[in-house]
């Protein structure tokens, strides 16, 4: 059987990536941008060109939400389905668009024109509801804007001809502290370090003294990570920037990448200086979530500017031996790829399944080489420390959580956007600043964080109290917290990578129970079952996703128990479905309607 030859455009994609199988995810993504989807012959041809088993290529493509192995319509409209999008009316808008375009959610229309569905949080919570059209983000969906979009789709206008205004994204910053204080000048921190520090050890000590802890959620001491990697032997030391920002409700990395790209890149370059001691080879990678495709060209030009200015490439700032450059990788819709070892798998062109650890990335990371993975904000903080010194940094925040933290504030408040605070700020202060009156709850740190109620609004944002990767989602009194948590439970069930049983099955059970309670069929027994499942997931899940997937339910159960209980049918147990309705089909086909052709639980159970 012969495989059709690849088009010249596809050959160009392959050549650009050096026909390197570790670039598979990037190649698939770019091939899809050309063809709209990934037809079987294309998979076969790519497998052959990359000398990979076909199943490897197809299996990888199947892993990612934004790679399509079936025709996906000429226009793919995905509605962000975070709870904040729903609060802004996304569900009704989705129905409206379906009606307007004669489409059914989750199905390509018969003429192959359009596909409408939902997707996990796209990081536009401050200006939602968010949309992705063929991968391009559109904020502030409204009836009017969707009417416009429907018209453009019906006219089959290419995306390039759509009004640019539709794609305009704001990056609101409402409070600035250490990090966001002054617009950074490219190269300033680097020059300061290179002037005094011959091998990066001085900077490493400074980051250590500053007490910097990772901003991606776990709060691991950054200097310890850098030191371990610097000591690990390897042909190349890699600096990886985690810009996957998949936690629903978080968007501060988006704002940093858009408005402070130089600060991010400077931080990465400083890290490279520490890892390679200005002598041995280093290489940088940015893993940018697919939802932030719109930032790609912006970041590429920031990189180009820095190369031109001698801040990237060979002999940075004229220092012979200090060579470092940065490459961009785009994700393709998988929350788990934010987990650092899954991220490395994805960077290597594979399915984003978390690795076994140890060994840790600092010794065996990207391509088995010593690798530092840090969050976008962590690199920015490192650059700020290099410029202003450890003492200035320590002067802000708390003893256990020095410095400042960017919060992504959204939900029921007057001024959503990014707020930078010294660590130690209380929930109450943030609520006052963003204009949130009578909040009934705040989700701190997104679904894998903590849902706090008013009696805890004096708690502090800090690693030792309310740890957070940055999400701060406010719920006003009109919101049903049960539905909020049900949304989060669905999110985890959708995003579980399926590798390990406690999480794959556990998240599905949790979703089933939440839907059962939602349908008015819940019972006290179901709550007990939730607790059991939760224990198993925490104990036995392979990665952080499964271990934290029960957090929203735990908080609902412990802090908002009546919200959950008032949904229960007041029974010890209730069936998961309507017994009598389950007989309807057979009744219709047999024409029976006698007493035994019905099931009435009330009489049966008495």
Partner 1 sequence: MAERRLRVATASLAGCFGCHMSLLDMDARLLELLPHIEFDRSPFTDIKQLSPCDLGLIEGGVCNAENVEVLLEYRRKCRILVAVGACAITGGLPAQRNHLDIGACLQEVYLTEPGTTHGLIPNDPELPLPLDKVYPIQEVVRVDYFLPGCPPPAEAFWRLLSDLVAGRTPHLPRELIRYD
Ligand X SMILES: Cc1cc2nc3c(=O)[nH]c(=O)nc-3n(C[C@H](O)[C@H](O)[C@H](O)COP(=O)(O)O)c2cc1C
**Residue closer to ligand SF4 (CB basis): 184 or 352:** 352
Binding flag, residue 354, ligand SF4 (CB under 6 A):
yes
Q: Specify whether the CB–CB gap between 407 and 177 falls below 8 A.
A: no
Partners of 328 in the β-ladder: 286
Q: Which of 392, 383, 384, 459 is nearest to 427 (CA)?
A: 459
Sole binder of ligand X in the list 128, 135, 217, 278 (CB under 6 A): 217
Classified as helix, coil or strand, 33 is: helix
Q: Binds 575, which of ligand SF4, partner 1, ligand X, none (CB < 5 to 8 A, cut-off by type)?
A: partner 1
Residue 378 CB, nearest approach to ligand X (Å): 3
Binding flag, residue 448, ligand SF4 (CB under 6 A):
no
Residue 365 CB, nearest approach to ligand X (Å): 12
Query: Beta strands 371-375 and 471-475: pairing type?
Result: unpaired
**Residue closer to ligand X (CB basis): 214 or 411:** 214
Residue 241: phi and psi, rounded to 5, are -100, 120
Name 204's Cβ contacts closer than 8 Å, sequence gap at least 6.
223, 226, 227, 230, 274
Residue 496 CB, nearest approach to ligand SF4 (Å): 4
Q: Binds 214, which of partner 1, ligand X, ligand SF4, none (CB < 5 to 8 A, cut-off by type)?
A: ligand X
Residue 565: phi and psi, rounded to 5, are -70, -30
Cβ atoms within 10 Å of 568's Cβ, excluding its own: 17
Instruction: Mark residues 325-344: x for contact with ligand X by CB under 6 A, - for none.
Output: -----------x-xxx----
Q: Binds 102, which of partner 1, ligand X, ligand SF4, none (CB < 5 to 8 A, cut-off by type)?
A: none
Subset of residues 559 to 578 that bind partner 1, contact rule: CB under 8 A = 572-573, 575-577
Residue 538 CB, nearest approach to ligand SF4 (Å): 10
Binding flag, residue 543, ligand SF4 (CB under 6 A):
yes
Task: Give the burial class of 28: count Cβ atoms within 10 A of its Cβ; 0-12 exposed, 13-18 middle, 19 or more buried.
Answer: buried
Q: Specify whether the CB–CB gap between 559 and 475 falls below 8 A.
A: no
3 state SS for 183-204: CCCCCHHHHHHHHHCCCCHHHH
Cβ atoms within 10 Å of 436's Cβ, excluding its own: 23
The CA-atom distances, in angstroms, between 512 and each of 115, 205, 442, 506, 566 are 27, 51, 25, 10, 18
Sole binder of partner 1 in the list 110, 155, 165, 594 (CB under 8 A): 594
Taking the C-alpha atoms of residue 418 and residue 253, their distance in angstroms, rounded to an integer, is 10
For the chain, how many helices (H) and strands (E)?
25, 14
Residue 66 CB, nearest approach to partner 1 (Å): 27
**Residue closer to ligand X (CB basis): 214 or 333:** 214
Binding flag, residue 502, ligand X (CB under 6 A):
no
Taking the C-alpha atoms of residue 347 and residue 424, their distance in angstroms, rounded to an integer, is 35
Tokens describing residue 130: 């968010």
Total binding residues toward ligand X, as defined by CB under 6 A: 22
**Residue closer to ligand X (CB basis): 123 or 139:** 123
Residue 218: phi and psi, rounded to 5, are -85, -20
Residue 500 CB, nearest approach to partner 1 (Å): 15
Subset of residues 366 to 385 that bind ligand X, contact rule: CB under 6 A = 373-375, 378
DSSP 402: B
Subset of residues 187 to 216 that bind ligand X, contact rule: CB under 6 A = 214-216
Give the nearest residue (CB) to ligand SF4: 546
Binding flag, residue 602, partner 1 (CB under 8 A):
no
Which stretch, 5-13, 26-34, 240-248, 594-602, contacts partner 1 (CB under 8 A)?
594-602
Taking the C-alpha atoms of residue 411 and residue 430, their distance in angstroms, rounded to an integer, is 13
Q: Which of 1, 81, 53, 64 is nearest to 29 (CA)?
A: 64
**Residue closer to partner 1 (CB basis): 228 or 568:** 568
Q: Which of 470, 472, 533 is nearest to 503 (CA)?
A: 533
Which stretch, 67-75, 394-402, 526-534, 541-549, contacts ligand SF4 (CB under 6 A)?
541-549
Q: Binds 546, which of partner 1, ligand SF4, ligand X, none (CB < 5 to 8 A, cut-off by type)?
A: ligand SF4
Binding flag, residue 103, ligand X (CB under 6 A):
no
Residue 103 CB, nearest approach to partner 1 (Å): 24
What would you report as the CA-atom Rg of the chain, rounded to the nearest whole angstrom? Answer: 25
Name 29's Cβ contacts closer than 8 Å, sequence gap at least 6.
66, 67, 290, 330, 332
The DSSP line for 273-307 is HHHHTTTS-EEEEEEE-GGGGGGHHHHHHHHHHHH
Q: Specify whether the CB–CB gap between 263 and 383 falls below 8 A.
A: yes
Sole binder of partner 1 in the list 52, 392, 568, 597 (CB under 8 A): 597
Q: Specify whether the CB–CB gap between 216 and 242 falls below 8 A.
A: yes
**Residue closer to ligand SF4 (CB basis): 411 or 546:** 546
Q: Binds 572, which of ligand X, partner 1, ligand SF4, none (CB < 5 to 8 A, cut-off by type)?
A: partner 1
Q: Binds 599, which of ligand X, partner 1, ligand SF4, none (CB < 5 to 8 A, cut-off by type)?
A: partner 1
Subset of residues 497 to 536 that bind ligand SF4, contact rule: CB under 6 A = 497-500, 503-504
Q: Please, what sign has the CA dihedral across residues 200, 206, 208, 212?
A: negative
- Compute the 3-state secondary structure of the chain and give helix, strand, coil in percent, each to the nearest 5: 50, 15, 40
Q: Binds 577, which of partner 1, ligand SF4, ligand X, none (CB < 5 to 8 A, cut-off by type)?
A: partner 1
**Residue closer to ligand X (CB basis): 134 or 250:** 250
Q: Which of 115, 145, 127 is nearest to 85 (CA)?
A: 127
Instruction: Mark residues 525-554: x for contact with partner 1 by CB under 8 A, - for none.
Output: x-----------------------------
Which chain residues interact with partner 1 by CB under 8 A? 523, 525, 572-573, 575-577, 579, 582-592, 594-599, 601, 604-605
Which chain residues interact with ligand X by CB under 6 A? 214-218, 220, 242, 244-247, 336, 338-340, 373-375, 378, 543-545
Which chain residues interact with ligand SF4 by CB under 6 A? 336, 354, 496-500, 503-504, 541-543, 545-546
């Amino acid at each position: 059987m012969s495989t059709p030859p690849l088009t010249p455009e596809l050959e160009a994609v392959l050549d650009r990536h050096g026909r390197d199988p570790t670039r598979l995810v990037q190649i698939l993504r770019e091939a899809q941008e050309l063809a709209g989807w990934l037809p079987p012959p294309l998979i076969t041809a790519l497998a052959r060109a990359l000398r990979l088993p076909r199943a490897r290529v197809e299996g990888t493509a199947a892993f990612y939400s934004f790679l399509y192995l079936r025709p996906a319509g000429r226009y793919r409209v995905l509605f962000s389905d975070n709870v904040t999008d729903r609060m802004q009316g996304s569900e009704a808008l989705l129905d409206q668009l379906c009606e307007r375009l004669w489409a059914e959610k989750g199905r390509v229309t018969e003429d192959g024109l359009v596909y409408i569905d939902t997707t996990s949080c796209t990081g536009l919570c401050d200006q939602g509801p968010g949309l992705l059209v063929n991968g391009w983000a559109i904020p502030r969906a409204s009836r009017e804007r969707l009417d416009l979009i429907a018209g453009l789709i019906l006219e089959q206008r290419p995306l390039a001809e759509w009004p640019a205004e539709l794609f305009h994204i704001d990056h609101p910053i409402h409070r600035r502290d250490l990090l966001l204080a002054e617009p950074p000048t490219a190269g300033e921190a680097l020059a300061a370090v290179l002037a005094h520090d011959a091998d990066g050890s001085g900077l490493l000590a400074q980051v250590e003294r500053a007490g910097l802890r990772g901003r991606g959620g776990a709060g691991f001491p950054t200097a310890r990570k850098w030191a371990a990697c610097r000591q690990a032997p390897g042909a190349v030391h890699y600096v990886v920037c985690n810009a996957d920002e998949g936690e629903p409700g978080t968007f501060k990395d988006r704002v940093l990448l858009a408005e402070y790209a130089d600060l991010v890149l400077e931080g990465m370059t400083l890290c490279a200086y520490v890892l390679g001691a200005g002598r041995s080879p280093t290489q940088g990678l940015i893993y940018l979530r697919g939802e932030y495709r719109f930032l790609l060209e912006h970041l590429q030009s920031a990189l180009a500017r820095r190369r031109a200015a001698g801040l990237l490439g060979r002999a940075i700032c004229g220092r012979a031996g200090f060579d470092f450059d940065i490459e961009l990788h785009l994700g393709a819709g998988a929350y788990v790829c934010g987990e650092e070892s899954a991220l490395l798998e994805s960077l290597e062109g594979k399915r984003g399944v978390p690795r076994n650890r140890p060994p840790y990335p600092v010794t065996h990371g990207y391509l088995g080489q010593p690798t530092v993975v840090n969050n976008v904000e962590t690199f920015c903080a490192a650059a700020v420390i290099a410029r202003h010194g450890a003492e200035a940094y320590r002067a802000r925040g708390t003893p256990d959580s020095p410095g400042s933290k960017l919060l992504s504030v959204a939900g029921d408040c007057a001024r959503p956007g990014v707020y930078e605070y010294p660590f130690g700020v209380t929930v109450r202060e943030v609520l006052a600043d963003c204009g949130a009156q009578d909040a009934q709850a705040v989700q701190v740190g997104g679904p894998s964080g903590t849902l706090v109620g008013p009696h805890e609004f004096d708690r502090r944002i800090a690693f030792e109290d309310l740890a957070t990767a940055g999400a701060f989602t406010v719920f006003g009194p009109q919101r049903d917290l049960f539905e909020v948590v049900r949304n989060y439970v669905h999110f985890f069930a959708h995003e579980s990578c399926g590798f390990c049983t406690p999480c794959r099955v556990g998240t599905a059970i949790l979703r089933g129970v939440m839907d059962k309670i939602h349908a008015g069929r819940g019972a006290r027994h179901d709550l007990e079952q939730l607790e059991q499942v939760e224990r198993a997931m925490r104990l036995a899940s392979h990665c952080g996703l499964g271990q934290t997937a029960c957090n929203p339910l735990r908080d609902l159960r412990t802090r908002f128990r009546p919200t959950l209980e008032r949904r229960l049918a007041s029974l010890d147990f209730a069936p998961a479905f309507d017994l009598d309705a389950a007989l309807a089909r057979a009744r219709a086909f047999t024409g029976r309607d006698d007493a035994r052709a019905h099931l009435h639980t009330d009489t049966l159970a008495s």
